[in-house]
Each structure stands twice: as C-alpha cells, then as structure tokens.
C-alpha cells in the first residue's frame, strides 16, 4: 500500500467518522429542543401546583468531604437553608487531616452520637458519628480515609434514613429550590430511580451565604471556555439522551437517587475514577438485565453551580480524570453493549460514547496529522485542507450556537446582552487551540485507563470569588 492510497482510504474513514459524530450531536440537539419545549410548557403549571405537601419525599443529602476545612462550614450552612420540607444532612469526613471534623464540631455543636451504624454497602471503618445539638437533621460520619469520594459517599448512604439520597460535592453551590426541582421526576413517575440537573459554572457569579446571588461570566478565559462547554454538555447532550432514557451520566456534583436501588447495586464503586458515570451505567445494566421498568432522568433546570479550574494544570488534571473514568465505566459495564434487551442505552448511547467520546480524541488527532501530512506531501492542496478545517470549525460553532440558543429559549440566566455576545465569541475562539488541547488531554486519559494509573481525591483550587464570599 502506498502512502497515497493509505491517505486516500483514511480520508473516507475520517469522513464517515465525522458524519457519524456530527449526525449524533445534531440528533441530540433536535431531541433536546423538543424536550426542553415540552418541559418548559408544563414546568410552570406543575411548579405552581407543586407546593410542599406531606406527599413530598424526604431526602438524605450526603456531603463527602476530604480536607475541606476552609469551606465546609459555609457549605453546610447553605445546605441547612434549602427550601424543602423534610431532609437530613449527612456530612462524611473522609479521614481529613486539615481539621475538617474539628471545624464541623465547633461550628454546629456536634456531639458524639451512639448510632447503630449499619454497613449495607462496604466502606472503610467508621470511627464515629456526631449529631448536631443545634440542628437535629445534621449528622457527621467520621471515617478512615478510603481514598475516594465513592467510599465516602457509600458511608453516607449507609447512614441515610430517607428513601431518596442526594450526593452533593462539598464545594457545590446549590439553588435554594434545587431539591424541590430535582424531586419532581420522582413524584411524577414512580419508576424514576435517579435524576440529575444542569450544572453551571460558578466562576464569575456572586455567591452570598452559600447561594448564587448574581449570575455573571468569569473573567478567566479558561473558565469562560468551560461555560460554553457546560452549556453544550448539559443543555443538549444530556437532555437529548434523557428523552431516549439513555442518559449515561449524572454529575457527581449533584445527583438524586432512590436509596433502595443504589444499595441494591452496591453503591458507588470505590475503585472507579468517574464514580458518578460508572454508577449510572451500572444502574442501567442492573435494571436492564433484571428486565425492570425504570427511568433515569435529567432536568434542564440549573440546580448546581460548580467551581471550574482556572489553570491549565487544574483543567488538564480534570479532563484526564474524566476520560480515564469514561473508559473504566464503559469497560466495567461492557456486558451492556449491544445487550439484546438493552434498548437505546445498549444500541445507541454506549456505542456512541465508545466510538465518539472515548476514542474520539485519537481519531481527531489522527485527522489533523493525516491532513497535515497530505498537505505536506502535496496530496491535498492547502486550500482543501483549510476547507476541511473550516468545516470542522463551523460544525463546532453550530453546536455551541445551538446550546446558547437553548439557554436563551429556556432559562436565560445571563442577563446582559454583552454576556451572550461574549459566549458567542468564545464559541468561535474555542476551536483554535482549546479543542485540540482537550483532545490531547483526553488521549492522556485514555492512555492512563489503558495502562492503569490510579487517581485519589483531587483538590481543585477554589477561585477567589467563591472563597471570599462563601
């Protein structure tokens, strides 16, 4: 085979891949537009009806914390102010060495509590349980470090008293009505076993007493790029998949689960890098294989705000970890792939994630290499290479534009026109360098998954704005 014929054949592989990828995204987009219209049409009415009543489901909120002394008390204070009729807060101190437990004990008058702790889901040894003398619905589980958020979450789930458990990142900023919104799918459809909502970037927002007071865009360019990315991922990615009941991920920053089902599957996998995604894929596998009726839902409402990394190092670490987690989650649950009764999860979502999300960076990088090689060898004119590059860029822009349009159609959280124009500018700029950088990081994540390197609790540097006002 000559280089010429190889490049000729490769061109077709890339073309088919390119068409498949973009057709997939555009289909998700169409489903998301239909889904969000349907959702918004009824949301207002049902929202008005859905005032608190004895029929609301009580919720146990689990907050895994590892070395969160700086912010844990303000996070807990905010969580204690959520608008929801009945909930408890279970903070899990996962072997912190920075005085997290002491901060909690001082801040909330925590007293040792003789809890008959039951370890339904295996987790590291629980050293003690504390209960607040001021807030009867607040407990702290003090345990040996399991080295992962998953292990801490499992310890919290074991201590949960209510039928729904909500796992929240200690550094997440919630809306006061987040729980009420998230519970809605469980009230409307009893076959719902898990629900997630839209996570937004908190950088640039004004946070007061643990809640978002004013929405704004970050000044940091990297964080700004992530705003558009998150809009794309949540507003059409997840919304599209949920309409097929094929949602494969609920963000670990804020997810609500039926406790009996999560316990039945053994909780979060302590060895998983992306424990949030792995759990959702495992839930699909478990329910499909048992032929049980279930729904895993996503609501487009912005329910949680998270601190995005503002340095290349932090961002790289996050993306490498995500890709590693993706590979692990898909591989661990490979039995679900093309499972005869698996429906859209087995026949669409898993293959799509495998081909386009997991191995996508390799094809993307190879595409750039082949195109450059072809241009250098004179097999492709520079203008043709530019054309293909332009096509790739405008398709990326179309997807981002459509996500921003969905935001305008639905929640318009960014009040100033300037913000929207800035987001469009970012949607153009992200194609020059950022996308390519992401592909490289994701390849590193893929490499880590294939050649097995483990991750532990990872601290993301908090932005000044959040830290000062929290």
Partner 1 sequence: MWAFLSAPGSDVTVRVAAWTTAWVSAVTIVLFAYSLALRAATVQEAKRRRAIIERWRGIFAAAMLSGSYARECALPRFSRAERSDLLEEWNLARDSVEGEAVGHLIVIGERLGVDAVARRMLRARRLSARLAAIQTLGHLRSRAEWAALISLLDDPNTALSVTAARALVEIDAHDSVPLVMPKVVTRDDWPATTVSRILDKAGPDLVTQPLCSAILISEAATSVRLLKFAELARTERIDQLVEILLRERREPRVLAAAMKALSSSAGLPHVERLAAHEVWYVRMQAAKLLGRFGQERDLALLEGLLRDAEWWVRYRAAQAIVALPFLGPNRLRQIRDRQTDRYAGDMMQQAIAEAGLA
Tell which positions 341-400 bind partner 1, by CB under 8 A: 383-384, 387-388, 390-391, 394-395, 397-398
- The residues near 244 (Cβ < 8 Å, ≥ 6 apart) are 31, 343, 344, 348, 349
Tell me: does residue 229 bind partner 1 (CB under 8 A).
Answer: no
Piece in contact with partner 1 (CB under 8 A), picked from 51-59, 280-288, 364-372, 456-464: 51-59
Q: Which residue has the tokens 């973009």?
A: 22
Tell me: does residue 16 bind partner 1 (CB under 8 A).
Answer: no
User: Do residues 97 and 116 make contact, with C-beta atoms less than 8 angstroms apart?
Assistant: no
The rounded distance, in Å, linking the Cα atoms of 335 and 346 is 9
Minimum distance from CB of 1 to partner 1 (Å)?
20
Q: Output the CA–CA distances (angstroms, integers) from residue 371 to 6, 261, 285, 380, in the order listed.
A: 12, 49, 40, 8
**How many residues form the binding site for partner 1 (CB under 8 A)?**
45
The rounded distance, in Å, linking the Cα atoms of 419 and 341 is 45
Which of 1, 2, 5, 51 touches partner 1 by CB under 8 A?
Answer: 51
Piece in contact with partner 1 (CB under 8 A), picked from 54-62, 269-277, 332-340, 342-350: 54-62
Minimum distance from CB of 272 to partner 1 (Å)?
26
The rounded distance, in Å, linking the Cα atoms of 203 and 7 is 44
Nearer to partner 1, 376 or 390 (CB): 390
Tell me: does residue 409 bind partner 1 (CB under 8 A).
Answer: yes
The DSSP call for residue 351 is H
Tell which positions 145-184 bind partner 1, by CB under 8 A: none
Nearer to partner 1, 259 or 462 (CB): 259
From residue 414 to residue 453, what is the string marking binding to partner 1 with x (rule CB under 8 A)?
---x--x---x-----------------------------
Which of 80, 99, 115, 354 touches partner 1 by CB under 8 A?
Answer: 115
Return the sign of the alpha-carbon dihedral for residues 187, 193, 198, 200: positive
Minimum distance from CB of 15 to partner 1 (Å)?
7
Nearer to partner 1, 40 or 355 (CB): 40
The DSSP call for residue 273 is S
CA-wise closest residue to 407 among 256, 282, 230? 230
Tell me: does residue 1 bind partner 1 (CB under 8 A).
Answer: no
Beta bridge partners of 143: 94, 126
Which of 49, 378, 432, 468 touches partner 1 by CB under 8 A?
Answer: 49
Beta bridge partners of 61: 89, 166
Radius of gyration of the chain (CA): 23
Tell which positions 248-267 bind partner 1, by CB under 8 A: none
Piece in contact with partner 1 (CB under 8 A), picked from 111-119, 292-300, 360-368, 456-464: 111-119
Tell me: does residue 109 bind partner 1 (CB under 8 A).
Answer: no
- The residues near 188 (Cβ < 8 Å, ≥ 6 apart) are 46
Tell which positions 17-46 bind partner 1, by CB under 8 A: 41-42, 44-46
User: Do residues 189 and 299 make contact, with C-beta atoms less than 8 angstroms apart?
Assistant: no
- The residues near 246 (Cβ < 8 Å, ≥ 6 apart) are 284, 343, 344, 345, 348, 349
Positions in the binding site for partner 1 (CB under 8 A): 11, 15, 41-42, 44-46, 49-51, 53-56, 113-116, 118, 120, 131, 187-190, 383-384, 387-388, 390-391, 394-395, 397-398, 401-402, 404-405, 408-409, 412, 417, 420, 424
């Amino acid at each position: 085979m000559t280089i010429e014929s190889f490049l000729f054949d490769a061109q077709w592989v890339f073309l088919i891949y390119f068409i498949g990828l973009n057709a997939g995204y555009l289909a998700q987009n169409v489903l998301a537009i239909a889904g969000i219209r349907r959702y918004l049409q009824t949301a207002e009415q049902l929202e008005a009806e859905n005032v608190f009543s004895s029929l609301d489901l009580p919720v146990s909120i689990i907050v895994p914390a590892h070395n969160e002394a700086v912010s844990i008390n303000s996070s807990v204070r905010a969580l204690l102010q959520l608008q929801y009729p009945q909930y408890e807060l279970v903070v899990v101190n996962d072997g912190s060495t920075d005085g997290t437990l002491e901060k909690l004990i001082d801040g909330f008058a925590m007293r040792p509590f003789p809890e008959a702790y039951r370890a339904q889901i295996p987790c590291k040894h629980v050293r003690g349980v504390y209960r607040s003398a001021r807030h009867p619905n607040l407990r702290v589980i003090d345990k040996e470090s399991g080295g992962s958020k998953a292990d801490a979450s499992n310890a919290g789930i074991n201590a949960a008293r209510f039928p729904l458990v909500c796992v929240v990142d200690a550094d997440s900023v919630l809306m006061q009505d987040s729980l009420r919104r998230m519970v809605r799918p469980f009230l409307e459809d009893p076959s719902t076993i898990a629900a997630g909502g839209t996570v937004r970037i908190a950088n640039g927002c004004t946070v007061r007493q643990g809640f978002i007071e004013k929405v704004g865009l970050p000044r940091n360019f990297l964080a700004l790029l992530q705003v558009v990315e998150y809009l794309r991922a949540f507003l059409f990615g997840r919304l599209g998949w949920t309409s097929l009941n094929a949602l494969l991920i609920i963000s670990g920053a804020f997810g609500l689960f039926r406790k009996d089902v999560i316990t039945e599957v053994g909780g979060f996998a302590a060895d998983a890098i992306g424990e949030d995604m792995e759990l959702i894929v495992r839930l699909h596998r478990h329910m499909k294989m048992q032929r049980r009726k279930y729904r895993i839902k996503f609501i487009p409402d912005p329910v949680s705000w998270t601190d995005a990394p503002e340095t290349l190092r932090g961002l790289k670490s996050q993306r490498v970890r995500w890709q590693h987690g993706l590979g692990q989650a898909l591989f661990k649950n490979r039995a679900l792939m093309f499972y005869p009764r698996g429906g859209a999860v087995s026949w669409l979502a898993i293959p799509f994630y495998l081909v386009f999300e997991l191995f996508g960076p390799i094809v993307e990088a190879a595409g750039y290499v082949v195109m450059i090689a072809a241009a250098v060898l004179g097999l492709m004119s520079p203008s043709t290479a530019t054309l293909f590059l332009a096509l790739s860029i405008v398709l990326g822009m179309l997807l981002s534009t459509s996500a921003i349009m969905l935001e305008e159609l639905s929640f318009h959280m960014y009040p100033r026109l300037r913000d929207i124009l800035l987001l469009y500018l970012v949607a153009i700029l992200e194609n020059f360098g950022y996308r390519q950088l992401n592909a490289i990081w994701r390849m590193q994540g893929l490499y880590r998954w294939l050649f097995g390197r483990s991750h532990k609790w990872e601290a993301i540097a908090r932005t000044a704005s959040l830290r000062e006002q929290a």
